[in-house]
Amino acid sequence: MGCALVENTLVGALITCLEDASDAAKLFDDERGPFKSFYAQIVAAKAMGLFDAKIASALHAVRQIRNEFAHAILSLEFETESIAKMCIKLKSFENKDAHHEKVSPPRRYFEHACYELTCELIRVGTRKFEKDITIMKQRIALEEYQSRSNALSGLSHFLNTIPASLKGRD
């Protein structure tokens, strides 16, 4: 479940970067869509500069762990050697202050990484909106400046049309 949340949040972050999101379903859901796989989504998002190599590496580790569970013929647990080794890669995301009730370290690393990665991807998605808002504010400020400048120019032109004999009157 943690991996599904991470992947869905990554899709959301990628969608915020689209100029035209009307074909998002074709990009992410279509069988031949370029962002159909979690792998492709991670590679594309990193190439777009949405996050650094550390986040990309952690996302790939989460993806690999998910795939191990999904394609296992035999039952797996987080303590299974191959899974535990991949979870170790996620140890840096562990929240040491969090309360742990009998959760194995590999599972804890995975869960904490999923939480932290989801939070980071939400921040990534909101950065685009913040940039858009900043651009809109700058455009509004420029329009207001131009409007005031035009008004002052008009006033200046009007004042220049007043006969000199009237300008000296109080």
* CATH number of the domain within which 114 lies: 1.20.120.330
Residue 22: inside a domain: yes
Examine residue 117 and state whether it is found in any structural domain, yes or no: yes
Work out whether the CA dihedral 125, 131, 134, 139 comes out positive or negative: negative
Q: Are 64 and 43 in contact (CB under 8 A)?
A: no
Domain containing 119: what range? 2-128
Domains identified in the chain, total number = 1
Mean confidence (pLDDT) of the chain? 85
Model confidence pLDDT, tens digit, residues 29-83: 999 999 999 999 999 999 999 999 999 999 999 999 999 999 888 888 999 999 9
- Using a 10 angstrom Cβ sphere, with 0-12 exposed, 13-18 middle and 19 or more buried, the burial of residue 41 is buried
Note whether residue 85 is domain-resident: yes
Task: Let me know if residue 160 belongs to a domain.
Answer: no
Residue 103 has pLDDT above 90, yes or no: no
Has this prediction a pTM greater than 0.75? no
Q: Is residue 146 part of a domain?
A: no
